[in-house]
Amino acid sequence: MSKTLPRLTTTLSLAALALASAQAGAANWKYAIEESLSEVQGVYATKFKEVIEANSDHKVQIYPFGTLGESVDVMEQAQAGLLQFVDQSPGFTGSLIPEAQVFLMPYVIPEQQSEINYFFKNSKVIHEHFPKLYADKGLELLSMFPEGRVHITTQAPFSSPADLGGVKVRVMTSPLLVETYKAFGAVPTPLPWGEVFGALQTGMIQGQENPMFYIESNKLYEVSAVITDIGHNIFTTAVMANKDFYDGLSDADQALVQQAIAEATDYILDYQQGLEAESMAKIQAAKPEVRFVSLPEDQRVAFREASAAVKAKFVEMTGDSGQAILAQMEADLQDAKGK
Ligand code: 6CS
């Protein structure tokens, strides 16, 4: 036997040990989203994954919509610790954390993109108040970001709440969205996302609301005649981690997660510049007869006035806690003015 063999064996076992310990520190994190990889939540999650994987031995596996169930199923899996990260929008979180519905209230968020971005990056309501509410549900709130202005698809044009009388409009499952569309004169129909296209196709519902990119990527225009902007809201979403998992991470890994979240948030705000116009152009090319309507200000007034009842409902649903959230949000939006 060669005398060098024991030394070689030692060297090899040291290398194996180093590899094993690196692997012990290397984790596989599961991250579920409500959209496909090429849609806004998917682009965000992909950037997050890139930053994590470029700066550690960890791997991030992204589960797009449809792979693990509907949004509510995925949230249960995240709360149970089966998933480490989850993206869920307040339109669904509203039944778990009623205060999250503040993001659904019509005519509250400004229309100016720079103000919207400033609000999402700097507001106290998002960075100080909501983390406590999410923590109570076993979730570490990592980020909230906008996904674009919400548009309403219908089969016929409308210019007033009276025109929406009897029109069944699908909403996400938040009770506040139901109140919103009641106030807007329509018949709100809460449905999980997976049922929306079929319900439009069969005429079970006549309309729904979503950002333009989502109307385009899911071909909702194929089962709609009119796409209307009444300027009532933007679509907000949130990324969270299972709280026990997050609390159990080393300081270095928590810092890494925060770095990936910060980079993904900057990236997604930038990524969405021009996305609405591009999506509109694609819809126009695919179905030239689709009618785009932007309600003039004098016709928006009736919808703005109707939204006062929604604010009252929000306060009724959330009590003192919701009122404090609303007051902080209004102060943050005031601070974002002109930014
Ligand atoms: O309307 C919905 O249910 C979906 N809309 C968007 C933009 N993202 C995910 C959500 O499931």
Task: Give per-residue pLDDT as tens, 89-131.
Answer: 999 999 899 999 999 999 999 889 999 999 999 999 999 999 9
Banded pLDDT at 24 (limits 50, 70, 90): low
- HSE-up of residue 115 (Cα within 13 Å, Cβ side): 14
- pTM (predicted TM-score): 0.92
Assess whether pLDDT exceeds 80 at residue 18.
no
16 within some domain: no
Question: In the predicted model, is pLDDT for residue 212 greater than 50?
Answer: yes
C-beta separation of 109 from 103 below 8 A: yes
Domain containing 53: what range?
Answer: 28-336
* Tally of domains within the chain: 1
In the structure, which protein residues have their CB atom closer than 6 angstroms to any atom of ligand 1? Answer: 34-35, 71, 89, 147, 172, 193, 210-211, 214, 235
Summarize the confidence of residues 151-160 as an average pLDDT: 98
Q: How far is the CA of 160 from the centre of ligand 1 (A)?
A: 25
Proportion of the chain above pLDDT 90, given as a percent: 91
pLDDT range class, residue 143, cuts 50, 70, 90 = very high
- Report CA(34)–ligand 1 centroid distance (Å): 7
CATH number at residue 230: 3.40.190.170
Task: Quote the pLDDT of residue 14.
Answer: 46
Residue nearest to atom 2 of ligand 1 (CA): 193
Question: With b meaning 16 or more CB within 10 Å and e meaning fewer, what string describes 96-124?
Answer: bbbbbbbbbbbbbbbeebebbbbbbbebe
Determine the average pLDDT of the residues in 176-181.
98
Q: State the distance between the two ends of the chain, measured CA to CA, in whole angstroms.
A: 76
Residue 20 lies in a domain: no
Do the domain assignments include residue 3? no
Question: For residue 22, is it within any domain?
Answer: no
Mean pLDDT of the chain: 93
Question: What is the number of the ligand 1 atom nearest to the C-alpha of 211?
Answer: 7
Domain assignment of residue 198, yes or no = yes
Contact 87, 33 (CB under 8 A): yes
The pLDDT value given to residue 25: 85
pLDDT the model gives residue 21: 42
As a whole-number percent, the residues of the chain with pLDDT over 70 amount to 93
Q: What is the mean pLDDT of residues 188-205?
A: 98
pLDDT of residue 266: 96
Distance, CA 236 to ligand 1 centroid (Å)? 10
Candidate from 7-16, 77-86, 151-160 with smallest mean pLDDT: 7-16
Fill in the amino acid letter for 102: V
Q: What is the pLDDT of residue 199?
A: 98
Instruction: Output the six-digit token pair for 22.
Output: 């690196």
Q: Tell which atom from ligand 1 comes closest to the C-alpha of 192.
A: 3
Please report whether residue 13 resides in a domain.
no
Overall average pLDDT of the 310-330 stretch:
96
Pocket test for ligand 1, best of 39, 89, 149, 279 (most atoms within 8 A of CB): 89
**pLDDT at position 222 over 80:** yes
Is residue 85, in this structure, part of any structural domain at all? yes
pLDDT of residue 111: 85
